[in-house]
Amino acid sequence: MKKLTYFIHDSKGNYEPFYEYSIPNVGLDEFYARQLCTYFIIKGTQYELVSNEMAGDEEILVLEERGKNNSVLDEKNYRGKGIHVEFRRYRESENYKLITAVPCRTHLDVIRYLLKDIIDVPGEGQMAVTSTEVDEDRGVYVLYVKAIGENDME
- Give pLDDT, residue 10: 81
pLDDT-derived band at 22, boundaries 50, 70, 90: confident
pLDDT tens readout for residues 45-61:
999 999 999 999 899 99
Q: Reduce the secondary structure of the chain to three states and give it as a string.
A: CCEEEEEEECCCCCEEEEEEEECCCCCHHHHHHHHCCCEEEECCEEEEEEEEEEECCEEEEEEEEEEECCCCCCCCCCCCCCEEEEEEECCHHHCCCEEEEEEECCHHHHHHHHCCCEEEECCCEEEEEEEEEEECCCCEEEEEEECCCCCCCC
- Give pLDDT, residue 125: 96
pLDDT tens readout for residues 87-143:
999 988 888 999 999 999 999 999 999 999 999 999 999 999 999 999 999 999 999
Q: Pick the residue with more confidence: 153 or 35? A: 35
pLDDT at 72 over 90: no
